[in-house]
Structure 1
């Protein structure tokens, strides 16, 4: 390849990038555009090149014949019009096109008829125009239709066809053409199988075809050229195509990275669901983009999936599967055994579901560690697909839901009609059950960049080495226990609050605590224990007790509103994980002594943007309801002095909601949570700090705006308690950013986040 003149003229070869797929891949430098490129060199068979030259020659002839026919028809039509105008004045006024001129071969036929008629007028011979055999003899040389053309006897064909230019006698017939009046060395090539061609053409067998003409008619490369029009982040960019001799060159984007096959071999059982999710979503997206342009890949396999140094997954070799038979590579029938379905092996009609099966096979291999469809030949491959004993992917992963099994088996169904109708439908069903694509992308980038290889060779550091940050020493497990403890205390407080307002027949001020203290403490302990085991279930228990207290205080409407708010939030978010429940439970816990704004700040630390905003809104709504039970302060419902609900909580709640200052605080809570979480998406300490500072500023602005509105447009200076209630949560958020807690929470291998709820380890 390095000695190719095509390459030496423009590209400077750096080295061999690898081999696989359809040919050798060279790493080169484009001296014109000053960039690195990957050049795939595909050696074609002699038959394939000859066939492409033949088709290119026929296409050139067809185009030339059409041009000649157009010119002849135009010339004949103009001549006939002039003759008609001279012989018949009346015809001059006829509309153009009413009576088209006879084709050229009909004019010649009429002339010959007249000549024969004059020479045989007195004889008894049958006129040639009435003799069918003679009629065919006269008609054929002047371009009769070739749709039902009868070939001349083989004895009349030329014994010395031009084999170099036209090697396929069955498709192109070369014969002497005495009726054309050409030179003795001229040949006539009749393209009988091309529809719509009505004439023979004299060509010179020495005509040279441009390499680009031949390239255009090689199966597979024409489809691959269409990839150059695809602009997608998950598809390797194709810059150019060229051909020299029997070698085709595909000039592509150079990717500094590793193939998925190399990564799988390298990490073996170390693959995670996050990595599977990242690869699956990227390949599915690439296929969706190609299918949108009516293009199939037909050879999805680990060798055709490349991961760059940033963890971005790219798919290569689009459209090249049609070259398989010509290139002589190690795959069979335009695909790779193990990654192509039955219809592809049987050469049946293909559609997007063919690529879907390939993607499913690739994903199944990542999930289970093996590909059960490998076989030495096509017959064995068909049997492997039809009789495969597949392992349930959910049995290989504790965190993979059983629904994934049915989804995978649907996409791997041998019958094409039984699969999902598109790759998008397959992706929509499976992707939510896999891991985090963002975490998988980072993990893949680390593997490509070799991060962690040196650390594995070093001795592990002591677990409690001096100077180790507290967050690192706690780890996800410690954070999980802290969260459960916080949830237990908060639910215990909510349960106590509700039971204390459940007054018995004696009208005891402390409710059940005064009437039946044993029952009171047993129920409180039960709620706390449930929250420690499952914070999301404990949250429901605590707020149920709180609603009972509201109902006992005759605040029926407020109790109903609380049920709707808690039930709706729990269905949308609370049941999905531990973190949302712990975050919102911080409001009744810290709000009991003036720091309810800790809840929105914590939401920004641990949750995604939308989830954090929803949790902040939920915490604010419950803070308003609790404040209406006594303190009338959203930031501080004052558990010590307002343990017993006021006389009319519903009226107090309406009064709070009618104040603009209340809504100013609510907007600041939601805004602080969202902006903190949004900055944490970047995943760097600088952005975490920026988000923490922004959240603190938003909270401070909220209390200042509330003071301004509460003073009817007067002073912006809030009360010291309100100022402290916003300042302390803001500072805590900044401390969390300094300790890098947001990133640790998001990248932890053991889940304690919005996605799942971890179980405590024994």
Structure 2
């Protein structure tokens, strides 16, 4: 295959990756997004295209019939309404006009007789001229010809149109009826780390293409062949947990897989297990059931072989069969045909899995046999229930993931050398940096922020000592020990370090009698951490950028970072929390959300009573200023819009989202300054206030820098592809 071959004028073919379902899978390079993809190529026969054409035509005719019936119903309703309306009473001048009864009219008025005679002559031979003309027309036409005005019998093709280009069917009409694409559309909505992602579908000529995530690794079937008896309970636990999670995620989206087997489980070079080839996937109906044909003998329960209604317990049985094969080393349900397979399921004498493993508890036997029961009603209600029972009895899934990564990375001694590929353009900086480098930089920023916030809090905690710098003066050993412990905690888990730092700062405010800002920060920190912050390092790092960058006037970077790397809900929540935290920091004296000025406000007055009064007064000034709320709203809007644009998954949308976020920040600063200037115009007229706002309502140069720099940083992040959602999901920061 030539290296210059392109699929859909976009994907450069690298090589054949294998076969999946009923299509060939090609390994290709996406020249737009600059990453590898797997493309399933499904060759469509003339019968496939004709069937898709016919189904699309039937669907269109049915839609048109429904629309026509709806119009006719509306017309009938309108006529019924008119018939039900009361008759109009005659007008006064109409009373003197009498319409004679029909008997007073002659039975055959002269003008009707004249008109009838003319018509008869033209059509029935009553007049000579008419007869001559009609005969001439018939003679000229010849035998079998249709005379103008005569009706010919219609055919179905005359009514619906021939099945050619004139029926106006386009690719969109045919798309849903082409084999394989309906299943691809079903799985495309599943976005999970343990499921191979479907990016797009397309049809060109007589080939359908399904563009998927490219997974560089080995199938579970190959790993089982290579490891043989050396497979460990840790590896089994890693595979079982990942496949169970993928099925649970699909079932939550009302999707059944229906073809779970070792060939459809892939392990990448990081040891991540991914389920692929939802070629038989089907959507469950409202009752939780679905129907589909096909499958693989050995991993199909009886109800699937018998074409009965299926539900989540069908995938549960397949997962149990796969797990039993890993535990026992063989699949007892494999057979050459359906009859033998049914007999194997109903009458097989299964080996107890616990007899194959010294470390496996005997309780695993009953769990496995429950999930493998021929009767679906005797199995667990869901894959989650099955996993909850079996997982504690297997090995260490994390150790198994590391073992799988080592197995996949191991090079084949007799593998042929890879063909030399054309030199690719230099990858983006974020790709060269890699997930590990990104994680290190994120943790360095988080540690710096936590240490700074905690240090400011501790130097302002004075418990009756004489030292000006609080704990740092009175208990220097404890001061440095606490900072070191918080730094270590943040490096290990940024989410816990962020919570600890904000709680420490809130405690400092409360100890200085600044109760309102202290309680506000405490409540906001706990709420944000419980619903968002504890689920990953990303939200924590973004939230910690606010005090770190806000100390030098760039607090809006927190919102920009949240929009770049978090999903929409997390980005909006983190930006809102950053705004609340900025209010607390601004209460130290700066009264500015974008900058709390660490150089001027790191120390509060030595007396707690004086400090509390000063912080409370500054807090009151902050919350009544229009600029505060305009900036807060602009942060939330910037993060939300940036994240929404990034969900599209292309660099162009990422850059557009960054520009929109930058514009939102600038609008917030300008609007706040204009409102402040308008309010400062005094009690004059509304027009005078508006004029004053327009005349003096521009933000200060420092405020403009505080909005323009974060906006520019967001654009740089988008250009560097840091906002790529696929890359973020593959990272571990």
How would you bin the TM-score normalised by the shorter chain? 0.5 to 0.7
Matches for 1:693-704 after TM superposition, within 5 Å: 693-704=659-670
Matches for 1:398-477 after TM superposition, within 5 Å: 412=372, 416-421=376-381, 457-458=419-420, 469-477=428-436
1:656 aligns with 2:615: no
- CA distance in structure 2 between the partners assigned to 1:695 and 1:18 by the alignment: 43
| Maintained 8 Å contact 2:44/2:208 | no
Q: What residue number does 2:46 align with?
A: 29
Matches for 1:299-448 after TM superposition, within 5 Å: 313-315=278-280, 337-341=297-301, 352=311, 355-358=314-317, 360-361=319-320, 372-376=331-335, 377-378=340-341, 379-382=343-346, 387=351, 389=353, 412=372, 416-421=376-381
- CA distance in structure 2 between the partners assigned to 1:232 and 1:468 by the alignment: 32
Shift of 1:650: 3.3
Shift of 1:536: 1.4
Q: What residue number does 1:743 align with?
A: 724
| Maintained 8 Å contact 2:345/2:374 | no
Q: What residue number does 2:77 align with?
A: none
1:526 aligns with 2:492: no
- CA distance in structure 1 between the partners assigned to 2:528 and 2:559 by the alignment: 15
Paired residues, number:
473
1:724 aligns with 2:673: no
Shift of 1:411: 5.3
Deviations 1:301-335 (Å, cap 9, x if unpaired)? Answer: 79999xxxxx98442798676xxxxxxxxxxxx98
- CA distance in structure 2 between the partners assigned to 1:665 and 1:486 by the alignment: 24
Deviations 1:79-98 (Å, cap 9, x if unpaired)? Answer: xxxxxxxxxxxxxxxxxxxx
Q: What residue number does 2:476 align with?
A: 517
TM-score by length of 2: 0.53
1:669 aligns with 2:629: no
Deviations 1:654-685 (Å, cap 9, x if unpaired)? Answer: 43223332111111101111111111112111
Q: What residue number does 1:234 align with?
A: 183
The 3 A distance-change label for structure 1 pair 658 and 530 is same
Shift of 1:511: 1.6
Shift of 1:232: 9.7
Using the TM superposition, name which of 472-481 and 519-528 deviates more.
519-528
1:573 aligns with 2:532: yes
Deviations 1:261-320 (Å, cap 9, x if unpaired)? Answer: x9986994599999969974797489x479xxxxxx988779999xxxxx9844279867
| Maintained 8 Å contact 1:386/1:414 | no
| Maintained 8 Å contact 2:332/2:350 | no
Using the TM superposition, name which of 588-597 and 655-664 deviates more.
655-664
Shift of 1:358: 4.8
Q: What residue number does 1:441 align with?
A: none
| Maintained 8 Å contact 1:603/1:615 | yes
Deviations 1:10-46 (Å, cap 9, x if unpaired)? Answer: xxxxxxx9989xxxx99421598596899xxxxxxxx
Shift of 1:338: 1.9
Shift of 1:549: 1.3
Q: What residue number does 1:643 align with?
A: 602
Deviations 1:687-742 (Å, cap 9, x if unpaired)? Answer: 11101111101111111111111112403411111111000000011111111111
Q: What residue number does 1:490 align with?
A: 449
**Secondary structure, counterpart of 2:591 in structure 1:** coil
The 3 A distance-change label for structure 1 pair 381 and 366 is closer
Q: Which sections of structure 1, spanning at least 5 residues, go unmatched? A: 1-16, 39-226, 238-252, 291-296, 306-310, 322-333, 396-403, 436-452, 753-762
**Secondary structure, counterpart of 1:315 in structure 2:** coil
Deviations 1:561-586 (Å, cap 9, x if unpaired)? Answer: 32221112111122211111111000
Larger Rg: 1
Shift of 1:514: 2.8
TM-score by length of 1: 0.51
- CA distance in structure 1 between the partners assigned to 2:355 and 2:661 by the alignment: 49
**Secondary structure, counterpart of 1:741 in structure 2:** coil
**Secondary structure, counterpart of 1:509 in structure 2:** coil
| Maintained 8 Å contact 1:704/1:717 | yes
- CA distance in structure 2 between the partners assigned to 1:541 and 1:259 by the alignment: 42
- CA distance in structure 2 between the partners assigned to 1:737 and 1:518 by the alignment: 44
| Maintained 8 Å contact 2:567/2:643 | yes
- CA distance in structure 1 between the partners assigned to 2:387 and 2:435 by the alignment: 30
Q: What residue number does 1:686 align with?
A: 652
The 3 A distance-change label for structure 1 pair 736 and 624 is same
Using the TM superposition, name which of 618-627 and 368-377 deviates more.
368-377
